[in-house]
Amino acid sequence: MTAPGPLPVVLAGARGHGRWHLANIRRLQEDGLVRLAGVCELTPLTEDEYGGRPPEQSADFGALLESTGARIAVVCTPIHTHTDLALAAARRGVHLLLEKPPAPSYAEYRRMADGVAAAGTACQIGFQSLGSHAVPAIRALVADGAIGRPTGVGGAGAWVRPEDYFRRAPWAGRRRLDGVDVIDGALTNPLAHAVATALALAGSTRAEDVTGIETELLRANDIESDDTSCVRVTTAQGRPVTVAATLCAERADDPYVLVHGTSGRITFWYKQDRVLVQRAGHGPEELHFGRTDLLENLVDHLVTGAPLLVTPDGTGAFMKVVEAVRRAPDPAPLPDGAWHRVPGENRRVVPGVDGLVAAAADTLSLYSELGAPWASPARQTAPGTGSAPGSAQRSAPPPAQPSAPHPPKEVNTR
């Protein structure tokens, strides 16, 4: 454990989503928990960008860790750089908050996780939704039989993104860059929380919890990666986890995870920490929860020994999904008639996809099984990291669950 006092932190990647981390570090700095000691960027932040005089800056991550005496590194850089930066920190005894997805392939994930473990440093993976107090509360409700026997978990993410979103960085919308895996895509990056949270509520977070994966990867935008996709994970428990996602929705909604049972279901809007319990013999019950910040939890772990909320091994099942997406054929372009541009908004929309995303979470079915005319039958991937994609036929779609009405959707104004 580390002695109490503000722990020096280096932030790698302070632009884009890194701005959120910068604000969060400042919040914890005001609470006396950390001190921002350095920022690693290829182009230094200006005073206007930082909002004052920045701390020490360098494009050399390792040198910055050494010169600042950092105890924690927050890594929010392009996906394909995560493993090398994580190992650079671990070699110097620096603990990590590593942004999701932790790596672009299962092999790179294992190299990172094994290297961090060998160095004896702590590593938290940045799935912020797993810091929600709703997660253990839902698990307890399911364990207590609140919705009967659990039958599966669905996830739905219907977002809108302009075409400029895929040009915000050289790696955006790419599966590979300069011969290196990136695997940016709806399921693996922007809506990765839906996948990870669904797996967590299914009690299937470790790599060995996954026995099979089916993917349907498509794209309306002129990109390499998927922007409209779904995945069904077969778990060792025998209960499916199906997540459908799109960045081409007709309107933006808050993503949610839906836990199905034989006598009810539980809906979790993970960005809001809000839960709706619907079960036989009871009226609907809405619950609101707090959330533990993952950097704050990492500090608590180093100071008091509190358990980490999102360890590398606890994201192994998610990384099996990333690997299945990586090994799948490149996403198929949707035919021209399957999408259109929104006038004045510079974005592409797939008509009807909002309903398909919701139906997939409702019935644990894939797009092709729901009759989407543009969806090809799923690609089934063997669970092993080195085996070729399986040639077995897809399993029949599970029965729709349950009979309770679908919860109302809410507009995401972010």
Q: Identify each DSSP E strand in 283-345 by its residue range.
A: 285-288, 332-333, 340-342
Cα angle, residue 129 at apex, residues 127 and 315 outer, rounded to 5°? 40
CATH of domain 7-128: 3.40.50.720
Phi, psi of 252, deg, nearest 5: -80, 135
Name the pTM for this structure: 0.91
- Kindly give the confidence (pLDDT) of every residue in the chain, 414 residues in length, as a single tens digit, with 9 standing for 90 and above: 555 689 999 999 999 999 999 999 999 999 999 999 999 999 999 999 999 999 999 999 999 999 999 999 999 999 999 999 999 999 999 999 999 999 999 999 999 999 999 999 999 999 999 999 999 999 999 999 999 999 999 999 999 999 999 999 999 999 999 999 999 999 999 999 999 999 999 999 999 999 999 999 999 999 999 999 999 999 999 999 999 999 999 999 999 999 999 999 999 999 999 999 999 999 999 999 999 999 999 999 999 999 999 999 999 999 999 999 999 999 999 999 999 999 899 999 999 999 999 999 999 999 999 999 999 887 787 666 543 333 333 333 333 333 333 333 332 222
pLDDT tens per residue, range 71-104 = 999 999 999 999 999 999 999 999 999 999 999 9
d(CA 247, CA 249): 6
The 8-class DSSP code of residue 376 comes to: P
Residues of the chain with CATH 3.40.50.720: 7-128
Residues of the chain with CATH 3.30.360.10: 132-290+312-381
Under a CB-based contact definition with an 8 Å cutoff, are residues 140 and 287 in contact?
Answer: no
Dihedral sign from CA coordinates of 139, 189, 233, 181 = negative
What are the residues whose beta carbons fall under 8 Å from the beta carbon of 287, sequence distance 6 or more?
Answer: 134, 137, 274, 275, 276, 277
Burial 322-336 (b: 16+ CB within 10 A, else e): bbbbbbbeebeebee
pLDDT of residue 263: 98
When the pLDDT of each residue in the chain is averaged and rounded to a whole number, the result is 92
- 285-288 and 332-333 beta bridge pairing: unpaired
Phi, psi of 169, deg, nearest 5: -155, 155
CATH H-level, domain 132-290+312-381: superfamily: Dihydrodipicolinate Reductase; domain 2 (3.30.360.10)
CA atoms lying within 13 Å on the CB side of residue 2: 22
CA quadruple 244, 249, 254, 257: dihedral, nearest 10: -10
